[in-house]
Amino acid sequence: MSLGREESFWDHLEDLRQTLIRCITVVAVSAGLCLCFHQSLFKIIQEPLRAEHPHVQTHQLSFNELFNDSKEVREVVLSSNEQVTELRDGATTQGNRLLLPSQSSAVIKKSLAPSRLFLLGPTEGLVTTLHLSFWAGIALSAPVWLLVITQFIAPGLHRSERRLLFPFILCSLGAFACGVLFALKGTIPIANEVLALFNNGLGQNLWTLQHYMRYSIILMLGTAVAFEISVLVFFLAHCGRLSSEAMRRQRRPVVVFIFVLAALLTPPDVLTQVMLAVPMMALYEAAIVYAGFREMRRRRLAYLT
């Protein structure tokens, strides 16, 4: 879009069409690259499943206690969340099988959360891979398609607005990345543990790849949105649209809103909700301090002029 001449409605429409084509192309290329490296993406998202779980059960499997026959060796198939920690008196393992000779035993550690995911249909792996590649492509290509959109809307903004636009986009990208990282390292592992502990009283935890990926993506996007809202509050405070006094007066309703938002964006357990709500409350308090600093600076500049 040109800054030096007036453009007609059809010129603007053509610019919009070109912008959409560029954005779709960028996302498609990024999603294609993510599809090529989908194994790495799966490893990253499944990392919380491989973390050490505080709730584990340890028990001993003994040949004499399990079997009352004359066979020399008996085989026990281990589930995906069972791990052999000690072999005694000649017991051995082959893959997920435990071989127990007569008089032998083994110590098994069982995590409540599954360490492996299951596929319940022939197309589930492919569909889940395409789904994950699409969302990862949108997220990883965000700097590029946001730049394309910025180039489209920048000519219609005032110079002061254009000066704030790029820092706001950079801060938004940083907040989005922090939200995803916070979900991977904090929210999802704790949610996994709490839900696995709850499910253990109802049945065996056998989680599927499709459901776990969908659940993880929702948690990551929800946490990222929560961090983005905090950046928006900072931006409004920077522009003077939100005063520190107004933010202090609305502190209680905001705290209620934060906990309601955390409840909507996380699984129904209190610990995960608190983990998301506390950083948002801290960022809100920081925004109050920042707004007060900006107001003091504006008053000082007004006094000097």
pLDDT tens digits along 265-276:
776 667 778 888
Give the pLDDT score at 24: 94
Are 92 and 124 within one domain?
A: no
Are 294 and 208 within one domain?
A: yes
Are 215 and 181 within one domain?
A: yes
Are 102 and 195 within one domain?
A: no
**Is residue 122 a contact partner of residue 211, using CB atoms and an 8 Å limit?**
no
**Is residue 184 a contact partner of residue 220, using CB atoms and an 8 Å limit?**
yes
Assigned domain for 291 exists = yes
Give the pLDDT score at 114: 66
Query: 9: which 2 tokens?
Result: 């409605």
Assigned domain for 150 exists = no
Span of 5-14, 51-60, 166-175, 217-226 with lowest mean pLDDT: 51-60
Are 164 and 294 within one domain?
A: yes
pTM: 0.72
Span of 20-24, 87-91, 159-163, 199-203 with lowest mean pLDDT: 87-91
Assigned domain for 151 exists = no
Residues 6+ apart with CB under 8 A from 11: 1
- Pairing type for strands 56-62 and 97-101 reads unpaired
Assigned domain for 40 exists = no
Give the pLDDT score at 299: 82
pLDDT greater than 90 at residue 263: no
Are 162 and 88 within one domain?
A: no
5-24 pLDDT, tens digit each: 556 777 778 888 999 999 99
Give the pLDDT score at 297: 84
Assigned domain for 239 exists = yes
Assigned domain for 145 exists = no
Give the pLDDT score at 61: 57
Span of 5-14, 30-39, 238-247, 255-264 with lowest mean pLDDT: 5-14
What average pLDDT score do residues 158-180 get? 85
Give the pLDDT score at 196: 80
Are 128 and 104 within one domain?
A: no
Give the pLDDT score at 133: 94
Q: CA 265, 269, 273, 276 torsion: positive or negative?
A: negative
Are 223 and 247 within one domain?
A: yes
Give the pLDDT score at 303: 75
Are 284 and 244 within one domain?
A: yes
Residues 6+ apart with CB under 8 A from 136: 30, 31, 34, 41
Are 68 and 124 within one domain?
A: no
Last residue within a domain, chosen from 111, 146, 174: 111
Q: CA 274, 276, 277, 282 torsion: positive or negative?
A: positive
Alpha-carbon distance 292 to 287, whole Å? Answer: 9
- Quote the Cα angle for 262-267-273, to 5°: 35
Q: What percent of the chain has pLDDT over 70?
A: 78
Alpha-carbon distance 277 to 283, whole Å? Answer: 10
Assigned domain for 146 exists = no
Residue 151's pLDDT band (cuts 50, 70, 90): confident
179-192 pLDDT, tens digit each: 999 999 888 888 88
51-108 pLDDT, tens digit each: 655 555 565 656 555 666 656 666 676 666 666 666 776 677 767 677 777 767 767 6
Domain region containing 181: 117-135+157-304
Are 196 and 262 within one domain?
A: yes
Domain count, the chain: 2
